Amino acid sequence: MKYPITVTADGYALRRPRIATSLAISDMWRFVVRHWGLLAALTITFIVHAPTLRYFFAGDDFVVLGSIRYLGGKQYLIDTLRMHDIVPNWRPLTAVVYTAEWKMFGLNATGWRSVNLGVHLSTLVVMYTLVSRVTKRQAIGAVAAIIFGVSGAHFDTVTYITALPHVLATFFILASLLAVIVYAQDGERNAGAYALSFGLFVLAFLTNEGSFVYAPVIVAAYALFSQRWRSAPLRLVLHALPFVVLAAGWLTYYEAFPNPQLKFDGYYWGSHVFTNYGVYLSFIAFPSHQIPLTPDVTRWIIAGAMLALSAAVLVRGSNIARIAVGGMLLAILPYAPVSIWTASRYTYTAVAFFAPVAAMASYAVYEQVRGAHRLLRVPATVLGLAFVATVAGLYGWQTFAQDSQAGRNTARWQQLVDELRANYSAVPPGTTIYIVDGPWTNPMEQYTWVPSVARALYGDAAAFDLPRNSYVQDPPNTEHALFLEWTPAGLRPVAAQQVVTPEHSAKAP
């Protein structure tokens, strides 16, 4: 026989699943060997942030939860789109995600936090792909991913419910950047990649309106990585036009129509902008303890060093490094005008651009040492891995410590929800619940947070927590009102007359 049969059809049928399994295992092993750095970054990042999944909602999370429960999903989306909601921004796509999460998870905070963490981990994959593709070094992509993944600069952000706009927009921006670079590097043959880049940019804008500032970054990426426009400059104009129109259009609207929804008290351009840049630039590189309101001498020095590094990279760095530095500086711009507070979540996207620069700089030093002598190759590799492990460990420890503190602070909101539920499974529409001498009397909390807790639980309801004397000096309307008094055992119902009348207040201990 010319082609002797060595196995029967039945025998081959039995062997085929084994062959398929063997090939799948082989492919999986090759993937692990090639991308072990990414897998390590994802694993370490998950381990660092996983403890936050058991935390409850923070106080301002209830502004969103209460609005959806009170208004209903449809009206909440309409109000967000028309800028009639009570949150000082315009983020319609984020509102869509919030509404979907409410339907899926309700008041189960773990579900909400898992979505944030999933997006964060997905961003690591995009960053790794982007940096590895451009630098041709998977090690640089892995180091960038782990720096961004565990950075203490965005503690209490990765799974913080209402930090989702920052987390989700960063994913879209990096994905947009990757798509436009792929388009440019492939000779602009795939118009779909360019369309995808602009579409992702639009999604980032709809997720967080401050993302319009990244239009120059994406246009610069096209200009630096494409060759075709150099012989036809009009191509650069045409490719930049959609991004410029969206960014310029939003900026024009913002400046032409003063809207308290967008320009809230404490948001303006002044000398504090430079102070905030000092805070955020220093915190990106040195995320130690809580983010300060103003920088001390040490932080000014670090911020100065960051600016010097940025200037050096812009002058002599690689194209991707220049893009990253520009992105880092622009990422702070929408939040620098806030004069009344600083927040770690405002550095989230900035760290996403800082991480590749730090990774490339570290790798350049490693290559210099490794190439100095053949006997230094192994020691340089060992020291390089030890350095990355040390930085990741310090960042991860700082993130874990700060997240733990933020998580402990959510316990008081869990307690408020539990106490209200224990006293009232439901309340009539239009009810106001007055709490006497409870631990939620912070003025900021009374403005929207505590009232929103009652809305999240009951719909058409509100709650306030005030000292006993406040009810005597300015008695509230007791119609459609319920009163709860704080005791060592928690909240217990009390008659309105025991709260609002002077004689009962005088007898109170």
283-325 pLDDT per residue, tens: 999 998 889 999 999 999 999 999 999 999 999 999 999 999 9
Selection from 362, 406, 319, 401 nearest residue 143 by Cα: 362
Rounded CA separation 407/412 (Å) = 10
Orientation of helix 164-185 relative to helix 348-372, angle to 10°: 50
pLDDT for 438 equals 92
Strand partners, 433: 463, 482
Element spanning 293, H or E: none
pTM given for the model:
0.91
Residue whose tokens read 């320009």: 263
pLDDT at 497 over 50: yes
151-167 pLDDT per residue, tens: 988 888 999 999 999 99
Residue whose tokens read 């869990």: 414
Position 453 confidence tier, pLDDT thresholds 50, 70, 90: very high
**Amino acid occupying residue 20:** A
Strand partners, 465: 435
Residue 84, SS3 per DSSP: coil
62-116 pLDDT per residue, tens: 999 999 999 999 999 999 999 888 887 899 999 999 999 999 999 999 999 999 9
